């Protein structure tokens, strides 16, 4: 499958057919697998043979999903988790020891921030943050016990773009592992391993499923690192359910066509918002006005589905706007076929102080819109009537 292009890999990566010769991969909804005899069982548990024995370790459906994402990301091996956060936590838990230190971008997903500030410190794992627009400060934050350099790009919810190649060089120079959360871009738009990332993490819940159905997470990277993650995960049990893996593997078959349309619609919505009098500013990686437009063009195939903008009138303006939204959904997810609008300051990032939010580029009137696959004219019409409600 290596010789094929992403679109083909997304469709044609499939576990071997069963004796029924099904065309589309069946669902192996089973917790365990049977052995031929005592010797088969002994050898399987001794890991002398590669085979599926228990779905906490592996399952044909999760195997197919992992194989597919590895091919699309250009990675050797991977593990599939019950959620994106299980992938994030397990990666840190497997690769770090008590006393280790992480240098991370300040602009990370809200739960990842809580992991850094409240959970990992309980095992004496500390972190230092750098600003997404100040990669020069990273070297001054690195300590003798720093092991991981961590970032997301584009960021949530500010859609800022970080220079992956520059991060890769810093990580290499200092012997750090570069771990990138590639959720916003998907392997179709950006492959961080090409720029020097060691481990790539995904929330499969977002664009990968794309239809708001299942939670899932993945970590992919070199065999040796993923083996450490696998050994941690097979004991602690964050494995993805075979059902969700089956759904997600089918979702990936249409990822390239869906993401192309998401990006087209998002660019159109971003341009519309940029010209709207009730909007102060708009940020979208593929809008020429984006501060890292050239960088986005260099490392991404298209801009993704998320647009950030600020409505006039701060919190009051935001509330008036949200109360008038009709067709679009007020929801916490993103990357869905349905367009979703969220207010980060009062929802996903409400646990942060105002100062912490501003450091991540989140203002009170900021809106995050995940542009879906409805007709762009209908999306724009709903936004327009809601924006007109702002006093």
Ligand X SMILES: *Cc1c(COP(=O)(O)O)cnc(C)c1O
Strand order in the sheet with 101-105: 77-81, 217-221, 199-203, 177-181, 146-152, 101-105, 126-130
- The nearest distance, CB 159 to ligand X, in angstroms, is 11
Nearer to ligand X, 152 or 310 (CB): 152
Q: How far is the CB of 215 from ligand X (least distance, A)?
A: 5
Q: Do 286 and 267 contact (CB within 8 A), yes or no?
A: yes
Nearer to ligand X, 240 or 390 (CB): 240
Question: Smaller CB distance to ligand X: residue 179 or 279?
Answer: 179
Q: Could you tell me the smallest distance in angstroms from the CB atom of residue 89 to ligand X?
A: 9
Describe the crossing of helices 376-387 and 314-324 by its angle, rounded to 10 degrees: 130
Q: Which is nearer to ligand X, 26 or 237 (CB)?
A: 237
Integer Cα distance of 272 and 282 in angstroms: 10
**Which phi and psi angles does 237 have, rounded to 5°?**
85, 35
Residue 116 CB, nearest approach to ligand X (Å) = 13
Q: Evaluate the CA torsion angle 206, 212, 216, 218 in order and state its sign.
A: negative
Q: Which two tokens stand for residue 135?
A: 């990669």
Report in angstroms how near the CB of residue 62 gets to ligand X at its nearest. 15
Q: Minimal CA–CA distance to 339: which of 265, 245, 259, 284?
A: 265
In the complex, which residues of this chain contact ligand X (CB under 6 A)?
A: 83-85, 109, 152, 156, 181, 183-184, 203, 205-206, 215, 217
3-state DSSP helix/strand/coil % of the chain, to nearest 5: 40, 15, 40
- Nearer to ligand X by Cβ, of 336 and 364: the residue is 336
């Amino acid at each position: 499958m290596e010789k094929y292009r992403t679109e083909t890999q997304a469709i044609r990566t499939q576990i071997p057919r069963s004796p029924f010769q099904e065309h589309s991969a069946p669902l192996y909804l089973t917790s365990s697998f049977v052995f031929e005899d005592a010797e088969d069982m002994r050898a399987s548990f001794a890991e002398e043979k590669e085979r599926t024995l228990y779905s906490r370790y592996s399952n044909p459906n999760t195997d197919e999903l992992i194989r597919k994402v590895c091919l699309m990301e250009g990675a050797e091996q991977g593990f599939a988790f019950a959620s994106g956060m299980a992938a994030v936590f397990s990666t840190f838990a497997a690769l770090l020891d008590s006393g280790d230190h992480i240098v991370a971008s300040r602009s990370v997903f809200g739960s990842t921030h809580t992991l850094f500030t409240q959970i990992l410190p309980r095992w004496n794992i500390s972190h230092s943050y750098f600003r997404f627009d100040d990669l020069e400060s990273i070297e001054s934050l690195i300590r003798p016990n720093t092991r991981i350099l961590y970032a997301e790009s584009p960021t949530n919810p500010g859609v800022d773009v970080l220079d992956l190649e520059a991060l890769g060089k810093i990580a290499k120079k200092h012997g750090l592992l570069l771990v990138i959360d590639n959720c916003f871009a998907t392997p179709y738009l950006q492959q961080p391993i090409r720029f020097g990332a060691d481990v790539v993490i995904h929330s499969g819940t977002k664009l990968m499923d794309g239809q708001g159905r299942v939670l899932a997470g993945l970590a992919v990277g070199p065999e040796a690192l993923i083996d450490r993650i696998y050994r941690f995960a097979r004991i602690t049990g964050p494995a993805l359910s075979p059902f969700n893996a089956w759904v997600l593997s089918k979702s990936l078959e249409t990822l390239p066509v869906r993401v192309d349309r998401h990006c087209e619609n998002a660019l159109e919505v971003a341009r519309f918002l940029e010209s709207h009098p009730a909007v102060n500013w708009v940020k979208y990686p593929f809008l020429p006005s984006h501060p890292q437009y050239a960088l986005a063009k260099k490392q991404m195939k298209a801009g993704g589905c998320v647009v950030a903008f600020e409505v006039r009138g701060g919190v009051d303006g935001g509330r008036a706007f949200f109360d008038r939204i009709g067709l679009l959904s007020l929801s916490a997810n993103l990357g869905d076929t349905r367009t979703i609008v969220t207010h980060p300051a009062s929802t996903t990032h409400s646990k942060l102080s105002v100062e912490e939010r501003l450091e991540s580029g989140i203002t009170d009137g900021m809106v995050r819109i995940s542009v879906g696959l409805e007709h762009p004219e209908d999306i724009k019409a709903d936004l327009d009537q809601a924006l007109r409600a702002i006093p």
